[in-house]
Amino acid sequence: MINAFTGLWKTSGYFRFGIVAVVFAVVMVVLSFFSPYKPMESYAVAADAPPSLENWFGTTSRGQDLFWQMTFALRNSLAFGIITALLSRIIAIFVGMYSGYKGGWFDKVLMSVNDSFVIMPVLPILLLLNFLLRDQMNWFYMSLMMALLGWAWDARLIRSQVLSLKERVFSETAVFCGMPTRKIIFREHMPYVLPVLFSTTINNLLWSIGMEVTLSILGLTNLNNPTIGVVIFWANQHQAMISGSWWWVAAPVIVTVFVFTGFYLLSVSINEFIDPRTRLRMKGGAA
Amino acid sequence: MSETIELLSVQNAKKSFRLGGILSNKEIIAVNEVSFSLFADKPDILSIIGESGSGKSTLSRLILRLLLPDSGSIKLEGTDVHAMKGRKQELDYMRRVQPIFQNPFETFNPLNRVDEFLMATATNYFPGEKPAQAKERVEKALQAVGLSLAEVGERYPHELSGGQLQRASVARAIIPNPKILVADEPVSMVDASLRMSIVNLFQELKNTMGTSIIYITHDLATAYYISDRIAIIHKGYFVEQGDTEAILSKPKHPYTKLLVESTLDPRPGATSLADGEVSTGDEEYLAVGCKFAARCPRAMDICRKVQPAETIVGNWKVRCHLYGENNAS
Amino acid sequence: DPNKEVIPGVKRGDTIIVEDPTGAITNPDSFNIWTCWAGGNGGWSHGLQQLGLDTLWLIDPDSGLPHKGEKDNTWHNSLAADRPAYNKDFTVMTVKLKKGLYWSDNVEFTAADVKYTVETLAQNPTALFGPQFKTDVKSMTTPDKYTIVFNLSAPNSRFHRNFTVRWNACWIMPKHRFEKDLKSATDLMTYNFNPPLSLGPYTLKDYDKNGRWYMWERRADWAKTSINDFGKPVPTYVMYQLDLPNDKKVIAQTNHDLDMIHEVTPEGIISLAKNKWETNWFQGFPFGHPDPTLIAILPNNARAPFDNKDVRWALALSLDITKVALASYKGAVTLSPLHYPPTGTSKKYYFDPMQGFLKDLSIDTGTNKAYKPYDTTIAAKIGDMVRPQFGDAVPKDATRLAAMLGQGWWKYDPKAASDLLIKAGMTKKGDQWYKKNGEQFKITLFNWGTGNPTLQRLGTMVAELWTAFGIETTALSAQDNGTRYGLGDFDVNMGWNIESWGGNPDISFFADSMHSRFYTPVGEVHNGRNQVRYKSAELDNILDKVNVSDFNDVGKSAALGLEFLKLTAKDMPTIPLMSYNVMSSQDNTYWTGYPNFDKPYANPVTNWANSRYIFTQLKQMLPPTK
Amino acid sequence: MSDLILQTKGLRASYITHLYGIDREVKVVDGVDLSIKKNEFFGIAGESGCGKTTLLKLIAGFCKPPLQVQAGSVEFLGLKEPMSLFEATEAELYKIRWRNISYIMQGSMNVLNPVRKIFKSFEDFAYPHMQELTPAGFKQRVIEHLGNLRLSKDVLETYPHELSGGMRQRVTIGLATLCSPEIIIADEPTTALDVVVQRETLGLIKRIQKELANTIILVTHDLAVHANVSDRIAIMYAGTIVEEGKTTDIFDRPAHPYTQHLIRSLPRLGDKEKKGYLKGAPPNLADPPPGCRFHPRCPLAVDRCRVEVPKLELKKSGTMAACFLAE
Amino acid sequence: MTFKHVFNKNFGKYLLGRVGQTIMVIIIGITITFIIPRLAPTNPVELKIQQMMVSGANIHPEAIKAFREAMNDIYGLKGTLFEQYVNFWSRLSRGDLGPSIFSFPRPATDIIMKAMPWTIGLLLSTSVISWIFGNLLGGLAGYQSNRRWTKWAELAANSIRPIPYYIFAFILLILFCFVWPLFPTMGAYDPGMDEEWMNPVFLLSVLHHTFLPALSLVLTGLGAWLLGMRALVSNIISEDYVQYAEVAGVKKKTILYQYVMRNAMLPQITGLGMSLGGIFSGALITEYVYGIPGMGQLSYRAIVGFDYSLIMGVSIFSIVGVSVAVLIVDLLYPIFDPRVRLN
Ligand SMILES: Nc1ncnc2c1ncn2[C@@H]1O[C@H](COP(=O)(O)OP(=O)(O)OP(=O)(O)O)[C@@H](O)[C@H]1O
Ligand SMILES: Nc1ncnc2c1ncn2[C@@H]1O[C@H](COP(=O)(O)OP(=O)(O)OP(=O)(O)O)[C@@H](O)[C@H]1O
Ligand SMILES: [Mg+2]
Ligand SMILES: [Mg+2]
């Protein structure tokens, strides 16, 4: 594990960038717990100050320090994205792997359900659900909803992987070893599905946070709870983009781009690392 | 014959596939009217020989329950194998019939260690046992194939040679003490020297453990070397089956003759190399009458119209009009 | 470039491009302003009510323009030749109409058009004004072509209100056209009135089938319309643009593609105001024009604990109004402690006369029997806060500042607010307030939606302040806020409840709806009136007096208004905050002469009918070369 | 020496991988000297993983990471000037590819693009080298050539998966021979085929070699194949050539113990004699044993074998062998 | 590929099953979108009344009562949810979605049809363009992964992806409509033109107006395709047939397009199919920022206004669109990949 880390660190620029971004994100999240201000407290600092040594990211027109606000925003957005990604992953893995492995009517039924979710127009449904839940709406419910809407396509991807794995001889060997289905799926097939899983997780994370931003920009999330989307929302409500407070928009955008590009590069480098072929080559086999 | 207990009986097994997907409605019968038996009291190595695409793998998959036959029955000690449902019955079946696959490099999951498969087999078929006992079983099986846990333990497939892997694969298969091993082209992917080592091992298994082996191959030389009985399969039909020695020294069916001729003799210049029409794949399957007729040097009119029935000629079965009732020469 | 074509054949230099803030019109082909759904679809203020239609009278919310036949600039006898005339017991209203006014198809406007309009609407229960006319009008007669007499079913001194425009009223239909197109009166509900026939100075030239712009062209015979009282409308063409995001408006005006912006955020105005060619109501801080409408916190008077006056007062005193002012308008506010918008002529009629009362007003906080809540230093405080940013634009002179920002508001006094809550039986545990029954005192605040950033910011600030005070408040901008508000299923709503005539002190325009006649119990769907569910015998009494007083007796109206204001100031059924300041902006590149604080001849907002007067005052700067 | 067409000298190459800090070097070809004559059917045999494919790639001048040449050269002598494949530029190599040297890759079942019709593959592979032909002329040429391979011209309009293994194999042979190159390098062209097709295919290759009078370098682990087609063979073991000579010599009088073992273990119809097999695993090429690489499995190994590397020398039997014990 | 056997028995059976499945999925999807808005405590009529109040119409209480009744009638909001559901299907079977509430009395279908060409025009073209460019760049990046520019392209695509779309669209707007005013800020075509889709002048104007929105959509859409393709390609370049083509000196271009990308296309085609279906729900933010009268704004307004008929209309288009797109892609698979068998 440590070897792998140092190996990756030494050889992969992507990995280094990614780690730096992740460390940055973690530091921000941790700092949020030590923030001197409440996340949305107005007029805690001088308003409309550009970035300076005192206010690293500048301040908003409402007298909030953007740096500290971003620590909360990043925390909330990441929590939201990660919960969404994890939940939808769980559904996707179970549906994809079992459906692919079991086949037959089990597969047919699950895939019909899956397809019904695939074709759902996500944004309209999210909007509707949002209206439905209104004041009960919080980021946790929202991540639940997003998870429900975000697993189907990935389940299909996983399923197609499993379908081809099922055809490989070692799967049959596993059957004749007397292994139960669960074991074949999770012990034998999982390592191959891992890269797909990993990259779809990152995509899902990006997608869910993007959705959250979209909903926030439309003012449909809880606007009293800072997320990346909510920060941008309030910047828009103050026309920050054209009124000269560029930093108000720049802070969330740069932080987002930095963290997510980092995540992405990290996922690319790790993905190459956990790719079965790479792993084989590392163990000394010809892949 | 009626005295002996049938271990495995395949009766009129038939399996067809659709060809070419939606755009064609051609159908080929990959296994057709195939019948044979293995007997419990007389362990046997039965070679099934045929060229590529003749239905060998399909037959083995039928026996291994990986495919469902269209008609006919495959019975293991009297019970239809395809009627076995549920984990208990399945385990029970697999305890008696185990496969050895063609390519040792693909038999094991390259990402997991080889001994995991071995240990899993031991623990799954003998669930009550302690890990130590399972280890002992694995060790015993490995010893039987000339390996040891020390050699294969904690190694990944690519860390073993092809021969070692194929041996490990055999070891895995014999852990539950199966009565039958179904080996589908087990040596086609390994080189000559390894080939002999595996084949020798089969013989040993038959002799020492009383395991029957269905040895599927297109290599007549090794079949000749180890098997007692032989069945020649051509486009789904068993065209000739019986005693190995007898059939290979005096083949009756023209197809068997072709196979024998085609086998390369490892003495410089000993084989005459043909350069005729290339043999076709699936088209022969669609032929009416005897599937071999198109290539058969002795084809008659009837061959192109009627599928010959299986007849007993001498002491083995042949499916050819040259020997049919209406032409018993 | 004045020669650029806006649409084929229409040069930029001849066109004034105006924003209509309605949002995209979903039924762009309909010009039927008389149906109910027209209200929701917004197809009113894309020029139709400003330029195309006319009715009997218009009131200017600002000081108005001098014109023929009237000494009161704010009152315009538009189609009518004179002010409304009632009989003694207010059961008959007689209206003399002007002569020589023509529809754009050169048919003369007469009393028959007015009569036809009222009759047609009365037959349609879902038409605007339909039910009113059905219940209120017994019969009509037209003694001659230019006179119409309304016989009313009950005494009603304010019946003319239906034909008096401040923002909207019953517009007159062209009888000859409608008779031709409608087979029966009920066809009105699906009639499109397309192309519209104009009684105003402009006719519709072209419009976007997607409802994004409307182009009006000056009538050659514009002099045969009521605008003639003011003079010739200057621009040959007026184009209304709809549905522009805030940021885009700023970009468009900076590119000189949009002459009049209805409103943007304060930040948008600040960045626009940096340009030489741009003007606002105030040149510099506080920029915006105060609408004759009042933004208020609207508690549910029928739901505990908001049914308790002390609680409502506590909510008011726990607000630091300077922060509210800063968060919403960046300080550019006009505050009002009274249930009346601090705009138009209200300073004269109400705000100056009320100062004494406000200063003396005392309430019982439980610990202090005569607590004086009024604070006259607020304007100065806000002035000090914004001066660093706006500099000299913020006057130091207290009276001038008060004229801009309001003369005073309630004190920010958490101590007094706490006392009031304790008096109301509440307790504070930790830093949270708990109600008598032990439940935590939480408020769900129905906030404005995203479409109005400034006000949404305001509501959010209110919630933040109350939360800081110990009342956990959630600001909610949900889509169905309105529905729940209508059902009475709400704690506190942010919104408009009170609008004035602007130029005229009569309170009937809005106060009528607070009459207990319209009270609906919680859970029952309201019928568009008295949504805060306030009930007061004293108030009913004042309103009943208004109903039988002469509208033209301004002194009487103002006296009744003062009574109303004193009552509501003490009882505080809602918490008035400030006027709705419209941050409008005008580009002087192609046109100049827009109204402003020093020349307040009209409300600069573009969607009100009175904005028609602006066009008569403009000067063309860059005429296109021929 | 003018009858030589290709020569390798002291060829040494490894697969070098750097993966996340782990460096690995697999020495697959270790000091190989080969001299291949014009119009010769040259066979290379050896067990799987001994480096046959790698050697062929080097001979074909196809060397890209992770494969790296460490020493030696490959010279093509078919042109006016000898041409060193490793020193040639990409463009020079491109010129001789398919025109002078063509290559049939191992696993011919999968070397055809599954989504491209056969004729397109011909165009891709051969047409650039036959610019003197018009498109129609080229097609005619291909059809003729297929006829020569006993394939119908319908094959051109099919996708690879629609062909049987034998036909696909013929197509790849066709691809490699269309331009009549001086050298054809064939890597296990018959391994996946059944006996009947194998015999047909070998017959075809042999015939083509006679017709074109060119050189074929054929690799397979199946000695029976070599016995029937090759004029000369080299036996490879763990990256080195352990024996080389005329086919008949090698089969009749193998000098190297490894060759001897191989020849002895060949099964034959009508021969039921018990065959032995080699104990132990082939050496790990990442860490090959010192001395003779065969010594850990050699039944005759002596001390010298463990330290010293034997040279390939002419032995009494008439073959060249790398063994201290052979005479 | 010959089609002479297209209508054989097996294909018929397969097609029937596949179409049946699609229909089922569509019905489930539509049912869900029918139910969700009706679970909300509000309904379109009440919202409408609120809107009228806010817009300041002076409406008599009597009028509101009458209006409420009339609208409930028109909207079929009487009866239980189930009755409404049955009623909905029977109306739908006649192609009638009912009138839209916020554009009363225009039928919902009418409004959708008006918005559709914009959405389809803009999204179809940008989807396809970003798909093509994304795949091309991805193919190049995967095939020549150590070139510097491919790394930059990849990085750029990745950095654009997380930028909130609204911001990105506005940055473009500010750059090209303000700082460097190349494009008009408002509308989807020059004012004063009629929507004559056959008129070249009109089309040119549309192009001029929709260039920026299209560019923003292309740039943000590109990344995902690029990355997907890149990943697929890096798998394929180790395939034997690619290696062999390289040995044989097949032209680099041919290898890239015909050997590498052609074989990586399949999943990307499915993805395109999906995203093409998705265009029916429009691109809300783009349409909002650039003022394009498409489905995105329409569906947003429909939802905001609880305009049941329109919500259903938009959803049905979207659901049917995606399902049919997926179905078509499935059926066309054998054309893209001759190995695929449909069964
Ligand atoms: N799942 C399947 N679907 C369709 N056709 C199949 C399927 N499996 C096998 N076939 C066809 O059935 C025939 C027999 O195939 P099978 O694999 O049994 O042959 P084989 O004798 O094992 O050949 P080989 O020596 O190549 O392994 C072939 O023509 C093959 O194409
Ligand atoms: N790309 C690679 N990276 C690292 N090692 C490799 C690579 N390719 C092959 N090898 C190793 O090089 C050795 C020789 O491989 P090569 O393919 O040349 O053998 P071969 O004799 O052709 O075997 P076969 O008979 O199986 O084709 C093997 O041990 C293999 O593991
Ligand atoms: Mg097989
Ligand atoms: Mg090889």
Assess whether the C-beta atom of B67 lies below 6 angstroms from ligand 1. Answer: no
Both structure tokens of E214: 């299209």
Distance CA B154, CA B159 (A): 10
Q: Using most ligand atoms within 8 A of CB, pick from D11, D12, D14, D15 the residue to mutate for ligand 2.
A: D15
What pLDDT score was predicted for residue E205?
84
pLDDT digits (tens, 9 = 90+) for B96-107: 999 998 888 888
List, edge to edge, every strand of the sheet that includes C15-20.
C202-207, C213-218, C237-242, C15-20, C260-261, C585-587, C278-279
CB < 8 Å to D22, chain A: 7, 282
- Burial (CB < 10 A; 0-12, 13-18, 19+), residue D94, is middle
Helix axes E308-336, E81-93, angle to 10 degrees: 60
Q: Concatenated DSSP letters for B88-148?
A: HHHHHHHHHEEEE-S-HHHHS-TTS-HHHHHHHHHHHHSTTS-HHHHHHHHHHHHHHTT--
Distance CA A72, CA E165 (A): 22
Half-sphere exposure of C369 (CA within 13 A, CB side): 0
Res. D143: pLDDT tops 70: yes
Contact A174 B157 (CB under 8 A): no
- What is the 3 state secondary structure string of D181-247? CCEEEEECCCCCCCHHHHHHHHHHHHHHHHHHCCEEEEECCCHHHHHHHCCEEEEEECCEEEEEEEH
Q: How is chain E split into domains, by residue range?
A: 46-96, 115-293
Name the pLDDT band for C41 (thresholds 50, 70, 90): low
Ligand 2 atom closest to the CA of D46, numbered from 1: 21
Both structure tokens of E195: 């929507």
What pLDDT score was predicted for residue E7?
45
Q: Concatenated DSSP letters for C7-39?
A: ETTEEGGGEEEEEETT---SSTT---TTBHHHH
Window from B187-201, B213-227, C428-442, C469-483 with minimum mean pLDDT: B187-201
Which residues, in sequence order, are CB contacts of C11 under 8 Å at separation 6+? Answer: C2, C3, C4, C5, C624
Instruction: Give the chains touching A; criterion: ≥3 Cβ pairs < 8 Å.
Output: B, C, D, E
Which value, to the nearest 10 degrees, does the dihedral of the CA atoms of residues D195, D197, D198, D199 take? 90
Assess whether the C-beta atom of A286 lies below 6 angstroms from ligand 2. Answer: yes
Q: Does residue B169 belong to the interface with chain A, where contact is any CB pair within 8 Å?
A: yes
Averaged confidence pLDDT in chain C = 90
Structural contact between residues A92 and A158, judged by C-beta atoms closer than 8 angstroms = yes
Q: Using most ligand atoms within 8 A of CB, pick from D53, D103, D219 the residue to mutate for ligand 2.
A: D53
Chain D residue with minimum CA distance to B220: D269
Of A43, A61, A239, the CB nearest to C247: A239
Res. D1: pLDDT tops 60: no
Res. C24: pLDDT tops 80: no
Assess whether the C-beta atom of B12 lies below 6 angstroms from ligand 1. Answer: no
> Mean per-residue pLDDT for D306-315?
90
CATH code of the domain containing A221: 1.10.3720.10
pLDDT digits (tens, 9 = 90+) for B126-176: 988 898 999 999 999 888 887 888 878 778 888 787 778 888 999 999 999
Q: Does residue C35 belong to the interface with chain A, where contact is any CB pair within 8 Å?
A: no
Distance CA D93, CA D99 (A): 10
Identity of the residue numbered C2: P
Distance CA C610, CA C604 (A): 9
What pLDDT score was predicted for residue D37?
92
List, edge to edge, every strand of the sheet that includes C289-299.
C472-476, C442-446, C492-499, C289-299, C575-582
Name the pLDDT band for B25 (thresholds 50, 70, 90): low
Three-state DSSP class for residue B206: helix
Q: Does residue E74 belong to the interface with chain C, where contact is any CB pair within 8 Å?
A: no
> Mean per-residue pLDDT for E310-335?
84
Three-state DSSP class for residue E253: helix
D198 Cα to the center of ligand 4, angstroms: 18
- Better-predicted residue by pLDDT, A58 or E62: A58
Res. C165: pLDDT tops 60: yes
Res. C289: pLDDT tops 80: yes
Name the pLDDT band for B279 (thresholds 50, 70, 90): low
Res. E49: pLDDT tops 80: no
Assess whether the C-beta atom of B16 lies below 6 angstroms from ligand 1. Answer: no
The interface predicted TM-score of the complex, written ipTM, equals: 0.83
> Mean per-residue pLDDT for E51-60?
63
Which residues, in sequence order, are CB contacts of A89 under 8 Å at separation 6+? Answer: A151, A154, A197, A200, A201, A204
Chain B residue with minimum CA distance to E11: B22
Q: How is chain D split into domains, by residue range?
A: 4-230, 252-327
Which value, to the nearest 10 degrees, does the dihedral of the CA atoms of residues C54, C60, C64, C70 take? 60
Candidates E240, E242, E266: best to mutate against D (most CBs of D within 10 A) is E240
Q: Does residue E195 belong to the interface with chain C, where contact is any CB pair within 8 Å?
A: yes
Phi and psi, residue D66, nearest 5°: -80, 0
Q: Using most ligand atoms within 8 A of CB, pick from A281, A282, A283 the residue to mutate for ligand 2.
A: A281
Name the pLDDT band for D318 (thresholds 50, 70, 90): confident
Ligand 1 atom closest to the CA of B59, numbered from 1: 18
Name the pLDDT band for D161 (thresholds 50, 70, 90): confident
Q: State the residue range of the domain holding A173.
A: 2-286
Residue C554 has a CB neighbour count (10 Å cut-off) of 15
Which residues, in sequence order, are CB contacts of C344 under 8 Å at separation 6+? Answer: C61, C62, C63, C74, C292, C500, C501, C502, C503
Q: The pTM is what?
A: 0.85
Candidate ranges A106-110, A194-198, C444-448, D49-53; pick with highest mean pLDDT: C444-448
Structural contact between residues C80 and C97, judged by C-beta atoms closer than 8 angstroms = yes
Name the pLDDT band for E54 (thresholds 50, 70, 90): low
> Mean per-residue pLDDT for D307-316?
90
> Mean per-residue pLDDT for C376-404?
89
CATH topology of domain D4-230: Rossmann fold (3.40.50)
Instruction: Give the chains touching C; criterion: ≥3 Cβ pairs < 8 Å.
Output: A, E
Q: Does residue A282 belong to the interface with chain B, where contact is any CB pair within 8 Å?
A: no
CA-closest residue to ligand 1 atom 9: B58
Name the pLDDT band for D285 (thresholds 50, 70, 90): confident
Q: Does residue B20 belong to the interface with chain E, where contact is any CB pair within 8 Å?
A: yes
Distance CA A73, CA A228 (A): 5
Res. C121: pLDDT tops 70: yes
Work out the minimum CA distance from D219 to partner chain A, whole angstroms. Answer: 20
Ligand 1 atom closest to the CA of D165, numbered from 1: 26
The residues placing their C-beta within 5 Å of ligand 4, an ion, are D 52-53, 106
pLDDT digits (tens, 9 = 90+) for B232-273: 999 999 999 999 999 998 899 999 998 998 888 888 877 777
Window from B6-10, B107-111, C298-302, E299-303 with minimum mean pLDDT: E299-303
Res. E59: pLDDT tops 70: no
> Mean per-residue pLDDT for B50-76?
90
A3 Cα to the center of ligand 3, angstroms: 43
What pLDDT score was predicted for residue E56?
55
What pLDDT score was predicted for residue A62?
87
Res. E102: pLDDT tops 80: no
Chain E residue with minimum CA distance to D56: E247
Q: Concatenated DSSP letters for A124-135?
A: HHHHHHHHHHGG
Distance CA C235, CA C217 (A): 9
Res. D269: pLDDT tops 80: yes
Candidate ranges B155-159, B200-204, B211-215; pick with highest mean pLDDT: B211-215
Please name which of C473, C340, C327 lies closest in space to residue C407, comparing C-alpha atoms. C340
The strand ranges marked E within chain D are: 4-19, 22-37, 41-45, 67-76, 83-84, 101-104, 183-187, 215-219, 232-237, 240-246, 313-314, 320-321
What pLDDT score was predicted for residue B24?
56
Q: Does residue B93 belong to the interface with chain A, where contact is any CB pair within 8 Å?
A: no
- Better-predicted residue by pLDDT, D12 or A2: D12
- Burial (CB < 10 A; 0-12, 13-18, 19+), residue E93, is exposed
Name the pLDDT band for B70 (thresholds 50, 70, 90): very high
CB < 8 Å to B21, chain E: 334, 340-343
Distance CA C323, CA C411 (A): 13
CB < 8 Å to E336, chain D: 115
> Mean per-residue pLDDT for C384-389?
88
What pLDDT score was predicted for residue D226?
92
Q: E115-293 maps to which CATH number?
A: 1.10.3720.10
A/D interface, count of CB pairs below 8 Å: 26
What pLDDT score was predicted for residue B275?
67
Structural contact between residues E255 and E245, judged by C-beta atoms closer than 8 angstroms = yes
pLDDT digits (tens, 9 = 90+) for D179-209: 889 999 999 888 778 888 888 888 888 888 8
What pLDDT score was predicted for residue E57?
54
D283 Cα to the center of ligand 4, angstroms: 16
Helix axes A276-283, A246-274, angle to 10 degrees: 50
What pLDDT score was predicted for residue A135?
66
Res. E275: pLDDT tops 70: yes
CB < 8 Å to C18, chain E: none
Res. B28: pLDDT tops 90: no
> Mean per-residue pLDDT for C233-244?
92
Name the pLDDT band for E144 (thresholds 50, 70, 90): confident
What pLDDT score was predicted for residue E294?
85
Q: Are strands C15-20 and C10-11 parallel, antiparallel or unpaired?
A: unpaired
Three-state DSSP class for residue B64: coil
Domains identified in chain B and CATH numbers: 6-323 (3.40.50.300)
pLDDT digits (tens, 9 = 90+) for C80-100: 999 999 999 899 999 999 999
Both structure tokens of E264: 């990586």
Tens-binned pLDDT, residue by residue, of chain A (287 aa): 677 788 888 888 889 999 999 999 999 999 999 999 888 888 888 888 899 998 899 999 888 999 999 999 999 999 999 999 999 999 999 999 889 888 888 888 888 888 888 888 887 888 778 777 766 777 788 888 889 888 988 898 888 888 888 888 899 999 999 999 889 988 899 888 888 888 888 888 888 888 888 888 887 788 888 999 999 999 988 888 888 888 999 999 999 999 988 988 888 888 888 877 777 777 666 55
Name the pLDDT band for B280 (thresholds 50, 70, 90): low
Candidates C5, C26, C501, C582: best to mutate against E (most CBs of E within 10 A) is C26
Chain D residue with minimum CA distance to B225: D272
Three-state DSSP class for residue A140: helix
Work out the minimum CA distance from A107 to partner chain B, whole angstroms. Answer: 18
Res. E55: pLDDT tops 70: no
Of E29, E37, E231, the CB nearest to A128: E37
CB < 8 Å to B193, chain D: 47, 261-262, 265, 277-278
Name the pLDDT band for B1 (thresholds 50, 70, 90): very low
Res. B277: pLDDT tops 90: no
Work out the minimum CA distance from C44 to partner chain E, whole angstroms. Answer: 10
Domains of chain A: total: 1
What pLDDT score was predicted for residue E4?
41
> Mean per-residue pLDDT for D284-312?
88
% of chain E with per-residue pLDDT over 70: 91
- Give the ligand at the shortest distance from the Cα of D45: 2
